[in-house]
Structure 1
């Protein structure tokens, strides 16, 4: 037996092993290329629970033994080592030994107890006839080798003798993830998860037509605008390009077009059309996944809503087994209809299906994607690594990735594309010199030159203090009451100072966004602006930049790096129906004459931006492409590859722990702690569920995830000023809403504002 249920019925070992093998091979086949791994995957899956054939484990299942000899991972790892071809022995040993834990090549990986192994193997040997039948060969030799010190030392010798490459790293994680996925899926589903095949670009086209119709109804003159025609042109060019590429040779593509030109729909259209080409031209053997990634959780709901609306417009029922949203604030829920019947998975089963990305179209964050690659050996994360194979990965706002990781990401994606049939689509208005592929919008340079929605007024040559800035701003607001204003600052401290000044203006509604405002309230503010015709004044930090679909007449921006300035400009006159939007760029200094931008951005990137913009008093939108290209050439010249080189060296030595430490997409060196704002009835209900421990695992987990929407981070040094007002229970710091202003953050004085 491999497992026994509560009712004492269970599953035969041969059935578990063969079903895990079949699930792994079926999943592997739908990913496409790399048939070299077929035999390796089969052997590892068939060997992974070999040790369960011992009397000790069988007695453990019956509740009659609970000693150390019940352990099955180590003996199974040595058996896999015995069965595998030379090239794969060490990788197989590692994957099998750690299939119930984390894959960590370390001293503990090679520790063994010879006497214990011999006892277990002698017990297993009693079942040799059944095992010879399972493995279709005489395995008597193994029981002799397991008593040989040289054989037991073999994995250690391999580890120190072999030099590992990135391809070995990818192969290891691919096989490990297939083993983990198949082992757990066999118990949860009983069969392999398969992607759905009804993914058609016609779905996107139908939704696009609806959006166009609604936009014309709201703004009748928009259909005659240049932007309206450009959006149509971009979409058609993207699909035409996908039709004409050689999908066997070309795997990396780009959609590099201005902000506000419906990049999201173009990306979905491209990925859906590419999906069908891959599926049909592989004789329906390869069924891709579409993994749409975004840098910020703040806009993931907005992107997922577009996907939902596409499917709803085409009368398609929505199940997590078809489309999935995965980030830290997503409630745990998993409904499946892949077997022509609806089924809901709950608790740990649901969590595994979600975190394993058992869905056809996944919307997630850069952090989740790159954790899948670089959180080396972490069972709970890397179990989905195999989903990258045969997938179409969309990197929306690709410029948000730190340049120090470009080199290592490109190396890994190169192997995933060539060996594992992966496709990459980068989406951006400000394309860095990174993942250079085929541009899907052939006329993109012409499009950049045609647009004339905004004008940048550049005042950075004359640094000013924040008081002077506020006076300029207030005068502009007083004289243009018919205009909406967005003011983007670099720090919370400077943004709150400006907010205080602008709230003194009568008869104008002033709103505020920053990380001092919890995510739920930020969403409420964004929706209020989107759904109203009122001429708001919005004060914000840079969290407003990418992907937030709101539109203002005049934008004020404290100096920052070039791609950030461009993103801010994308919040002005997005639909080109308000004449010309204005972006006024200033260089603000604090009371110590230190630029506010220096608290946030790299000095080298700021210097590159300043050098490019100096002397340009007026910048029109049609000049921005050339400026962007000049900026990213400068970035490429000054970027450091130290982080990438470190990770590469760690990969060569399989130092997984160091890889995990070195790759941090969002790194904050300032120590902070999370505080939950008890904001409304929803938060109180969630707090009660957690404190009382009532309900199933899923209910408690979802309570925690819901509370993430009401969480803010504060500096550790400020906790002493806050803790007296917090309830600290079960790992939560809960601040009552009476100490929180929904329009500016924590009310308590004597806390730092950075």
Structure 2
């Protein structure tokens, strides 16, 4: 499509008299025309770097209005709207008040009033294109649809210094603007402001969006437009403020590295052995490198089968990799990603998405090893500082370009990113400017999502719906992998044929004795429940059982998982007391969500590398993402895929001389933890569910789960999926953002404890970190980008001192707040005497809850 830009001089003859920005570091004010030119330049850079032309063509080809596909001239008009909406997004700065009060433009020194420019820009853009639209010889349907597109882009322009809410709110904004002497604010515009710049009322909008199909296309189009608009504006402003350009290579494309990292990966011992095995399998050599390690032969078969299928179906967008624990999913996923990136040159970024920070760190290590650090592996999460850019060195001193570092962070200007599912959801559904920028940079990328079953089940249908839309329209290749993989496309009936199972017959692997029988399952503690009237007595019975197993097995590593932190702590104290004389006390360990990074790291290291036998007591934090290899497991039951994830911590290597054993019991009330999770309707109390776990056949379990989800999504209440579809089509961005929150709206407060912790080998006192954080917050002299990066560095250290507690609400619905603190910032409470909450070198929730006026209850310890 051609890039036909509006000649703005036709509408504002004295355009060269207006300014767009001023800068303390730049003596020359930036003229509005200069900013528009820079915006256009960077929009075209993004278009070129992310192949946006083909993305837009893909979207336009998908849209139907009243069941008719768009004609070529309609698509061309929308494309013209798209690029000019971005080019003209600041044209409202011709507001004389803006020029006087904000730009100190002497030509307009007598003008005093509202300096708004975003709404002015949207109205001027609308006017220019309404006039053009009225001159087109098109039918009524085409006119209505293009009228709506003008209205949509105009709304998004009006929000380029705010956040998205709903297009319905735009009508009121237009009415208010019309009442506020619009001619006064746009006095430099010589054309008549058409009277047809009117607000569309809700009924009109609904009639139009009901006529658009398929569902969700305009939602994606709107998010893409807003992303590129904000992104182009950011880049253009950065160039003026810093006198530095952004180039194509700055956008972090994998195309710059793909050949080299592929070569490096294929030189690794693992890949070379798989390649040799492939030759053996195809009768091209007599040497089988895995004769003595049949488990590696099985892993290689899976690796090769998945690679064959992704090549065969590379034009598809969503792929499932269902593989048992210990089968080498990460290595297989690396090969799959490289296959896709090498085959389609439009694909130029790689993302790994995880639900847990432990998986983020572990995978970063694997990727760095596989790619030899040829490409930077960028971690983006709440505990990792933002990367900075070294601009140059002066007198042996490094000069940091904070502005560019922050730009890279919000634009995802990295070829390979590892981040969390929360960050991904913020990109897809967020409404702020910085949350929306990455959408354009997700286009033409490969996204690998791990452990998808851990996402909130109430969002499964919405999640796969949006993954389907984003991937098909933005050319995103999504690989979903897990040992317990719900086939979410079942929830989208018409889409099932379009999703690719990379493993044709999962049973070949799951039911192979090397994987299936590596852990022996024991349900006797469920069928014959632990003896005791109360929980303490039941835990005493459990200790006796564990001691019997420990002594009969000999030196071994035992893992015990509870659903609630409180139960884990009670059992931990019991075990320490019972075995303090008989065994070395260091063999009894506790790992829960209350432990900070140092404690967690030390415990996992000791369990993996130091201790030959131990008793590790934990909560659900152990189920996925923790790379440990235990001999025996005891678990309080929850739902089936959680039980299988737990089994992944037992005989994980599949290489132990003796089989692992897992015992299941029922002490904690799992429904109190997994509220409203439909999977709790199927637990190991049921013999049939026990058999599913033995047979590694989760199909009936997920079939029932999907049926339960469908029942909820078809109910006549706010959870009905049709309501979600209506919110999507009506562009109610706020409602979608609220609905797609991964973390339930539970009230939490964070306690910052002044204790001593070792950070990067240096012992630091919490007070030092707290004071640095407070000073940074209050320092108004630090430029925005530099402050963001410095805060990210301090927050990374703060995580060592912060502990969260859940708090209930009072009768008025307000959260109960802690007391007796020394300082508070937002919901973060500082305690000078942090050691008052430390017991046995660990954070004590019981002592923390003494800060609340009301006594704590069972649910506080979930």
- TM-score in terms of structure 2 length: 0.75
Alignment of structure 1 residues 737-752 onto 2, 5 Å: 737-739=834-836, 740-741=838-839, 744-746=842-844, 749=847, 751=850, 752=856
Q: Decide which of 78, 93, 110 is 2:154's aligned counterpart.
A: 93
Whether the aligned pair in 1 keeps the contact of 2:295 and 2:654 (CA below 8 Å) is: yes
Whether the aligned pair in 1 keeps the contact of 2:227 and 2:436 (CA below 8 Å) is: yes
> Could you tell me which residue of structure 1 aligns to residue 743 of structure 2?
666
* Superposition deviation, residue 557 in structure 1: 0.7
* Superposition deviation, residue 359 in structure 1: 1.6
> Could you tell me which residue of structure 2 aligns to residue 368 of structure 1?
423
Distance 1:420 1:432 in 2: 24
> Could you tell me which residue of structure 2 aligns to residue 153 of structure 1?
199
Q: Using the TM superposition, name which of 439-448 and 453-462 deviates more.
A: 439-448
**Alignment CA distance shift 1:77-1:604 (3 Å):** closer
Whether the aligned pair in 1 keeps the contact of 2:355 and 2:420 (CA below 8 Å) is: yes
**Alignment CA distance shift 1:155-1:520 (3 Å):** farther
Q: Any idea what SS the aligned residue of 1:33 has?
A: helix
**Alignment CA distance shift 1:212-1:485 (3 Å):** farther
Q: Any idea what SS the aligned residue of 2:749 has?
A: strand
Q: Decide which of 330, 337, 343 is 1:277's aligned counterpart.
A: 343
> Could you tell me which residue of structure 2 aligns to residue 11 of structure 1?
30
Q: Decide which of 634, 647, 659 is 1:556's aligned counterpart.
A: 634
Whether the aligned pair in 2 keeps the contact of 1:328 and 1:705 (CA below 8 Å) is: yes
> Could you tell me which residue of structure 1 aligns to residue 510 of structure 2?
448
Q: Decide which of 225, 235, 253 is 1:175's aligned counterpart.
A: 225
Is residue 199 of structure 2 the alignment partner of residue 121 of structure 1? no
> Could you tell me which residue of structure 1 aligns to residue 768 of structure 2?
685
Q: Any idea what SS the aligned residue of 1:515 has?
A: coil
Alignment of structure 1 residues 309-458 onto 2, 5 Å: 309-311=369-371, 313=372, 316=374, 318=376, 323-335=377-389, 346-347=401-402, 349-375=404-430, 377-435=431-489, 437-442=499-504, 444-450=506-512, 451=515, 452-458=517-523
* Superposition deviation, residue 443 in structure 1: 5.2
Whether the aligned pair in 2 keeps the contact of 1:263 and 1:427 (CA below 8 Å) is: yes
> Could you tell me which residue of structure 2 aligns to residue 53 of structure 1?
94
Whether the aligned pair in 1 keeps the contact of 2:319 and 2:502 (CA below 8 Å) is: yes
Cα deviation, 1:574-608, whole Å, max 9, x if unaligned, reads: 11221344343333236xxxx35544355742332
* Superposition deviation, residue 727 in structure 1: 4.6
> Could you tell me which residue of structure 1 aligns to residue 42 of structure 2?
23
Distance 1:406 1:604 in 2: 11
**Alignment CA distance shift 1:423-1:345 (3 Å):** farther
Residue ranges of structure 2 left out of the alignment (5+ in a row)? 1-18, 61-77, 130-145, 240-244, 275-288, 392-397, 490-495, 531-537, 714-718, 758-762, 810-814, 851-855
Q: Any idea what SS the aligned residue of 1:723 has?
A: coil
* Superposition deviation, residue 514 in structure 1: 1.0
> Could you tell me which residue of structure 2 aligns to residue 485 of structure 1?
558
Cα deviation, 1:17-45, whole Å, max 9, x if unaligned, reads: 23322322332342443235643331111
Q: Decide which of 447, 452, 468 is 2:541's aligned counterpart.
A: 468
> Could you tell me which residue of structure 2 aligns to residue 231 of structure 1?
299
Alignment of structure 1 residues 194-273 onto 2, 5 Å: 194=251, 195-197=253-255, 198-199=257-258, 200-207=261-268, 209=270, 224-247=292-315, 250-273=316-339
**Alignment CA distance shift 1:518-1:222 (3 Å):** farther
Q: Decide which of 218, 236, 239 is 1:186's aligned counterpart.
A: 236
Q: CA RMSD in A?
A: 3.2
> Could you tell me which residue of structure 2 aligns to residue 62 of structure 1?
104
Distance 2:414 2:689 in 1: 52
Is residue 679 of structure 2 the alignment partner of residue 605 of structure 1? yes
Q: Using the TM superposition, name which of 510-519 and 96-105 deviates more.
A: 510-519
Distance 2:737 2:265 in 1: 38
Q: Using the TM superposition, name which of 8-17 and 688-697 deviates more.
A: 688-697
Whether the aligned pair in 2 keeps the contact of 1:90 and 1:159 (CA below 8 Å) is: no
Is residue 366 of structure 2 the alignment partner of residue 306 of structure 1? yes
Distance 1:584 1:445 in 2: 21
**Alignment CA distance shift 1:643-1:685 (3 Å):** farther
> Could you tell me which residue of structure 2 aligns to residue 216 of structure 1?
none
**Alignment CA distance shift 1:577-1:152 (3 Å):** same
> Could you tell me which residue of structure 2 aligns to residue 527 of structure 1?
605
* Superposition deviation, residue 379 in structure 1: 1.9
* Superposition deviation, residue 9 in structure 1: 1.3
**Alignment CA distance shift 1:210-1:537 (3 Å):** farther
Q: Any idea what SS the aligned residue of 1:426 has?
A: strand
- Alignment length (residue pairs): 700
Q: Decide which of 805, 809, 814 is 1:714's aligned counterpart.
A: 805
* Superposition deviation, residue 567 in structure 1: 0.5
* Superposition deviation, residue 559 in structure 1: 0.6
Whether the aligned pair in 1 keeps the contact of 2:644 and 2:693 (CA below 8 Å) is: no
Distance 2:23 2:817 in 1: 52
Cα deviation, 1:595-640, whole Å, max 9, x if unaligned, reads: 35544355742332336545858965xx21x2x1121111112123
